[in-house]
Amino acid sequence: MIVIDGALRDLIPSAALGVLTCTADVAADSPEQLAEFDDLIRRLETVYPDLPSVAQNPRVAATRAAYKAVGKDPSKYRNSAEAMLRRVVKKNGLYRVNNAVDANNMISIESGYSLGSYDLAAVSGQIVFKATPDGEQYRGIGKDVLNIEHLPALYDDAGVFGNPTSDSRRTMIGAGAGRRLLYVIYAFDGGFAALAGKDGRTAEKALLRRYRRNAGRPLIRPQSIGMMRSYVLWWSSPCKTTPSNPSSIMPRKYMPTMRFQSGFQ
């Protein structure tokens, strides 16, 4: 589904993308999801005592290094995970959008990875992850025209639509039943692909559980999930949850029991 441009891989050899496509009923957050979000923020306030501690998160640090590699100042153009965690430290709170987007934001602040969520109906053709050229811009969500030059970003046949700092208005997710969604984890430390065997699969299953968790019922119907570098990887057999996995980005209580399919693309 997504190809990583060779020039970007030369600049950031450890770049990887987590890719999940699904069908979701997008609506306002349930009271249970809002409460879980608030609990997570309170917990993270104890994990990050000050602003420097946010930048020391290994996944945030890897994204900052990637920005430098493509020519962007990561202190002036912060990745979304870092920006949200800084709001948590300052006790400024986080915006609530809808169940699909807020699941993404919860994963982002808990893991330190920046994530993007996109309406597949607004995406056309081949998606390519590459560095943006001089003068690149688009209309951001809740913002006017954004300067996104010198950033790693997603392009489709219609142009650029997403990056680890801020996504475009064109592919934003709105409310509605049966919406086809694309979630992307922007990882610049190798992501789950850097984890060996069961650890990588367990981390993916934990992630999928977070997406499905919403008021005791599935939020999404998973179609595919995998980690990629220059290709999308789907596992060729169902996975079993391992007893423990310290590398997982989610707590063990979110480990799923569902199965998902696979293959190579």
Per-domain residue ranges for the chain? 2-197+228-236
- The CATH architecture of the domain made up of 2-197+228-236 is 3-Layer(bba) Sandwich (3.50)
Q: What is the pLDDT of residues 149-195, one digit of tens each?
A: 999 999 999 999 999 998 899 999 988 888 888 888 898 887 655 44
Distance CA 107, CA 93 (A): 16
What is the DSSP secondary structure assignment for residue 37, as one 8-state letter? H
Measured CA to CA, the distance from residue 59 to residue 64 in angstroms comes to 9
- Identify each DSSP E strand in 106-246 by its residue range: 114-119, 127-131, 137-139, 145-147, 152-156, 159-162, 176-187, 213-214, 217-218, 220-228, 233-234
| pTM score | 0.79
User: pLDDT, tens digit, for every residue of 2-36?
Assistant: 888 999 999 998 888 877 777 778 888 888 888 88
pLDDT at 228 over 60: no
Q: Distance between CA atoms of 164 and 172, rounded to whole angstroms?
A: 14
Torsion, Cα of 196, 199, 202, 207 (10° steps) = -80
- pLDDT range class, residue 205, cuts 50, 70, 90: low
